[in-house]
A and B are shown apart, each in its own frame.
Chain A
Amino acid sequence: MISQVFILSSKGDHLIYKDFRGGAGNDIVSIFYEKVTALTGDQPPVVMNHKDIYFVHIRQGGLYWVATTTAGSSPFTITEFLNRLAALVKDYCGSLSEKSVQMNFALIYELLDEIVDYGYIQTTSSDVLKNFIQTEAVTSRPFSLFDLSNVGLFGAETQQSKVAPSSAATRPIQSSREQGGKSEIFVDVIERMTVVIGSNGLLMKADVEGEIRVKCYMPSCSEMRIGLNEEFSIGKSQLRGYGAAVRVDECSFHQAVRLDEFDSHRILRLCPSQGEQTVMQYQLSDDLPSALPFRLFPTIERDNGGRLLMYMKLRCDLPPKSAAINVCATIPVPKGSVSLSQELSSPDQSAELKPQSRAVVWKIARFAGGTQLSALFKLEVPSLSSASMLEVGPVGLSFELPKITATGLQIRFLRLSPIQPGPSQRWVRYVTHSDSYTIRI
């Protein structure tokens, strides 16, 4: 049971406040904000209480999404609800930010009214909600086809030569019917990698969490069929085909997915509802089919002048035609490092010393597969001792791998039946993110 829901900006401005049960004091929002800001650390704990009012909050889009409740409530339900609420707001407003929430507050009140009654969650399905929601979304940036700034993100498998603009998937779902219906459907295969590589270069741990997300802008979509790789298998025992198998450990589906063709042909059938939904989630541990995307070869030594020399060789083991973007390596350095001088192997890299986080941050905007970059960092550390070397590492790497899935999962085809009248566009995108990619030194 939820007593109140409110949304605060990171500065504590009240954006949305809805009291479902009544009886709460007026100062409840400020009490929450005081508690949140009084805590130290990068993010305060999820649950806080004031007398017998419990606050559960999440952070998304730089906003606090807060629900107040009683001690006996399920944390899973409340957290999932807040996540779902944020997702719905994102669907309806196009994007998630302080500005979009501020501009669409009437829409959000309307949504909240339909989602929750008297503190009880009624429905969060966008199929049901679309019948009730009347307010139109206001977007700050007009949608333009010519916004092609970030092309690299998209692999257009079904539309060979065309590439969708990056903002295509960040528009409100409802506008489609008024704007004459650009009926589009986006299928995203998103994977998150968690990797630990030991100091001896051996792989200690590799996890991949993946999901297939469908974002549908079709006013009325009939059945959709998504074909996965034929040799896709679940679990260790079940191997299919003779080629390199695409294997996952565990796999779960959205309840609307019909699996009658899954066992024989690896086809998912569903009728997507408007907005974004996760159709399938899967997870693979330890046993990656392809080589790890990055290897690091560090050499660390002290020179005579009491400086710390770090020679980093970073190799990208992706296939030659693909590339990683937004690669960022965070190298912890000894406390008291004063200054950094650097020699980087190419001009499109940058590196800087961040004293407050005690790290050297090495950024590479684009890193082509099969290549190798190197950097020499010279650090001035006044109090350098042999033990200080212990403080160097582990290196954290964050990156995006467009058009690549770590598990090898591919979408063979995407069919809508019956064939949609008028121009309908189908987009398939693949991306692998680093959840946490740690290389010990």
Chain B
Amino acid sequence: MPYLGGEETVRELRRALSNPNVQSDPLRYRNTILKVIRTMSQGVDVSGLFSEMVKACATVDVVQKKLVYVFLCSYATLNPELSLLVINTLRKDCQDPNPMVRSLALRNMTNLRLPSLVEYVEQPLTAGLRDRAACVRRVAVLGWAKLHNLHPSSEIDAAVVNELYSLLRDPDPVVMVNCLRALEEILKEEGGIAINKPITHHLLNRLKECDIWGQSEVLRVLQRYRPQSEDELFDILSLLDSFLVSPHPPVMAATLSLFLSISSNLPVISLAALERVSGPLLAACGSGSREMRFAAVCHIQLLLRSVPGLLGPHYKRFFCGYAEPAYIKERKMQVLVELVNDENVAMILDELKGYCTDVNTDTAQAAISAIGRIGRSYSDRCLQILTGLLGLKQDHITSAVVQTMRDLVWVCPQCSDTVCLALDGCEETLQDIQGRQALLWLLGVYGERISTAPYTLEVLIDRVRSEASLGIKMELLTATMRLFLCRPAETQDMLGRLLHYCIEEETDMCVRDQALLYYRLLHCGIEKTREVLQGRRSDPSLGVLIGRPAKPVSQWARCFNTLEPLSQGAVEAESDSRGSPEHVTYNSKPNADLSDTLSCSHIEEVHSGSDSAMRCSDSSTNVLASSIAAPLSLSLSPAVSPEDFEHLWLQRQALHTERGNEMEGYIEN
């Protein structure tokens, strides 16, 4: 591998290229050039051979020509002067009787990307637009787009633009599609090619002639068209119907995008299209290419937002294959959770249960949290599975189960009895921070029902000196405080030790402040402490459990058939398995609601739910500092970005001065 001896190689190649013996033997000459290109694609800088390669360009051997062009296009920008030498050969080739040579010359002339050569290129390009051979016209049309992008400021001749418009009627479908692409680029500033009724109908009528790439391109451009009447709209839709169920995913997706954009104010049509497209999308989910599968599953997730019951009968298609990569499995599980209904819940849970012991810990944890989400509607069955999993005594499974249980209890308080019974003995298996935090939260909130809670805490308190995690220490403080409120006799002693350690010996300021805060809070009396610490135990926003409301199609139509659904999404579903539930359930509130929420609850917060420690101390300090008599709960407020927060804060300060009296009223609420 010539990674190191780059210079040596270049010198050797130059010697070979300029050797007259090599030059006279076509085969040896070609092989030497091959070596140059090979060296180039290995990442060695061979730009020094430019002038030798320019000479090699003048040949009748098409293969050699192609090779030299690959080289020239890569290095032309470094050698603008020498590139002028190539132009003559290229212009001569443009007159060649062989259309292949003509198109090759034209393409590479425009690929040199040298602004200084534009004047030499324009004439052959104009001639190329009228060439007899379609392959030359294809290249010439895109050549104008390349030329325009070299000089984005300069205007392209209006005559050329007109010619490109007229070439939309070219008999060759690729020329037609290339014209669309070129015009889109050249007229970018005016918003792209003008899509009027005649052009639209012309394109639609010729759609069948194009290959799948051309079809998807045309369909994408047509998204800008707005039909003038309802009749026209339905004509277009029925014309496109066969493309909607195309076996080629790119065409199917582009057609659905077009459907959604032109029928955006006819929700019935959009929904019908979604139903129709579900067949081909499902077929893509079973495609041999795993990347295609992934794309299809991600887009199905979008569809399900609007039509939750759409694929209910096909839930088995989303069972994971055991050899599938973890990222597809995770998405499939997210889909399965959406598809659960009374008939299939047993089958789906059975399937998910199988994934919980997967070798891949990510898959196992995703399966467990999927079961937890199903548990919001079918809590008994799910809790049974989750409790069973605890018996495995494996750290990553136990941790995921405890976190899932915490999240489940937060939305379904009726599960708490089963959860409390199951927690016994978990602390021995738990290793990671998130799992232990979840356990501590549960012990604090439901301590009165878990008989061993004080002993579990005591062990942790004894070891607090060697504890490295800040989050655990904070959670431990809060849990011990909460437990003290309901079982004072058993907890008093260990709480004293913990507070003493945290205030006197702890070096971390957050923990120390928190401990001091609790200490002073205790001085205020038991009632006060209870008010602060025993807040809600469940998500107040959830009343009766209903399915997820169907969202309008317009909410996601714009990102359909883009890369967006593939790159995000995992984040969204993951958010509620991290940190304590109080801190995360609110973070998807739209901004419009913020000011309402803020003026109702007294406490504002800055950080998002990542660091529970920080926010606890912040908010509690607020409580104490503002000695308002009204009952307060801890930290039930939305996550706000710093800018939003500042904005709202300033707004509220202004309000505060105006309606200081009214505030009292709000807080009572």
Contact = CB atoms under 8 A, between A and B. Distances in A.
Tell whether A pairs with B: yes
Interface of A: 13-17, 19, 22, 41-49, 54, 56-59, 69, 71-77, 79-83, 105-106, 109-110, 113, 117-118, 120-125, 131-132, 134-135, 192, 194, 196, 198, 204-205, 207, 209, 250, 252-253, 281, 283, 285-286, 330, 332, 335, 357-359, 383, 385-388, 390-391, 393-394, 396, 398, 435-436, 438, 440
B566 A46 contact: yes
Interface in B309-325: 316-317, 319-325
B211 A124 contact: yes
B63 A124 contact: no
B107 A113 contact: yes
B392 A390 contact: yes
Given A74-B562, A385-B391, A390-B392, A205 B319 contact: yes
A283 B394 CA distance: 40
Contacts of B292: 76, 79-80, 83
A105 B291 contact: no
A117 B393 CA distance: 58
Given A283-B286, A438-B322, A440-B354, 14 more contacts: A16-B41, A42-B326, A46-B295, A57-B291, A58-B291, A71-B562, A74-B216, A120-B181, A132-B135, A134-B62, A205-B316, A252-B283, A388-B392, A396-B322
Q: Tell me the dominant secondary structure on chain A's binding face.
A: mixed
- Report, nearest first, the 8 A-B pairs whose CB atoms are least far apart: A436-B321, A387-B391, A252-B247, A396-B322, A121-B213, A77-B250, A76-B249, A43-B325
B41 A14 contact: yes
A350 B327 CA distance: 31
Given A43-B327, A122-B174, A75 B295 contact: yes
B325 A198 contact: no
A45 B392 contact: no
B561 A76 contact: yes
B624 interface: no
Interface in B349-376: 350-351, 354, 357, 359-360, 362
B111 to A, nearest CB: 8
14 contacts: A19-B74, A41-B360, A42-B326, A75-B565, A83-B291, A105-B41, A109-B67, A124-B211, A134-B66, A196-B319, A209-B286, A390-B388, A394-B322, A438-B322
Interface string B273-300: 0000001000110101111101110100
Given A56-B563, A394-B322, A22 B279 contact: no
B109 interface: no
A54 B391 CA distance: 44
Nearest to A206: B316
Contact of A80 (B66, B113, B248, B362): B248
A370 B530 CA distance: 72
B295 A76 contact: yes
Nearest to B354: A394
Contact of B294 (A46, A252, A387): A46
Contacts of B290: 43
Contacts of A118: 142, 145-146, 181
Nearest to B34: A106
B340 interface: no
Interface of B: 34, 37-38, 41-43, 62-63, 66-67, 70, 74, 100, 107, 113, 135, 138-139, 142, 145-146, 174, 177-178, 181, 211-213, 216-217, 220, 247-250, 252-254, 279, 283-284, 286, 288-292, 294-296, 298, 316-317, 319-327, 347, 350-351, 354, 357, 359-360, 362, 388-389, 391-394, 561-567
Contacts of B100: 131-132
B208 to A, nearest CB: 9
B138 to A, nearest CB: 6
A281 B283 CA distance: 10
A283 to B, nearest CB: 6
Contacts of B562: 71-75
A73 B327 contact: no
A117 B347 contact: no
Contact of B66 (A110, A117, A196, A198): A110
Nearest to A15: B41
A135 B61 CA distance: 11
Contact of A196 (B37, B177, B351): B351
Contacts of A22: 113
A79 B289 contact: yes
B133 to A, nearest CB: 11
Contacts of B212: 80
Contacts of A113: 66, 70, 107
Nearest to A73: B563
A98 B385 CA distance: 46
Contacts of A106: 34, 37, 63, 66-67
A383 B429 CA distance: 13
A332 B41 contact: no
Nearest to A102: B38
A117 B107 contact: yes
A396 B354 CA distance: 12
Nearest to B388: A390
Contact of A390 (B34, B74, B177, B357): B357
Nearest to A75: B295
B174 A123 contact: yes
A129 B561 CA distance: 28
Contacts of B284: 76
A177 B324 CA distance: 40
A80 B212 CA distance: 10
Contacts of B174: 122-123
A337 to B, nearest CB: 12
Contacts of A205: 316, 319
A79 B563 contact: no
Given A106-B34, A387-B392, A47 B563 contact: yes
A125 B209 CA distance: 14
A357 B325 CA distance: 14
Contacts of B350: 198, 204, 440
A45 B63 contact: no
B322 A436 contact: yes
B295 A79 contact: yes
Contacts of A283: 283, 286
B347 to A, nearest CB: 7
Contacts of A390: 357, 388-389, 391-392
Nearest to B394: A335
Given A113-B66, A396-B322, A440-B354, A14 B43 contact: yes
A106 B217 CA distance: 29
Contacts of A132: 100, 135
Given A134-B63, A332-B359, A75 B391 contact: no
A77 B213 contact: yes
Nearest to A390: B392
Given A15-B41, A123-B174, A332 B566 contact: no
Contacts of B283: 250, 252, 281, 283
B525 to A, nearest CB: 47
A123 B174 CA distance: 8
A44 B294 CA distance: 12
A312 B662 CA distance: 76
A125 B321 contact: no
A386 B138 CA distance: 70
Nearest to A39: B327
Contact of B250 (A71, A74, A110): A74
B399 to A, nearest CB: 14
Most buried by A among B37, B220, B393, B567: B567
B368 to A, nearest CB: 13
Contact of B249 (A15, A42, A80, A120): A80
B171 to A, nearest CB: 15
Given A42-B360, A205-B319, A357-B359, A385 B393 contact: yes
A335 B347 CA distance: 26
B263 to A, nearest CB: 20
B331 to A, nearest CB: 10
A17 to B, nearest CB: 6
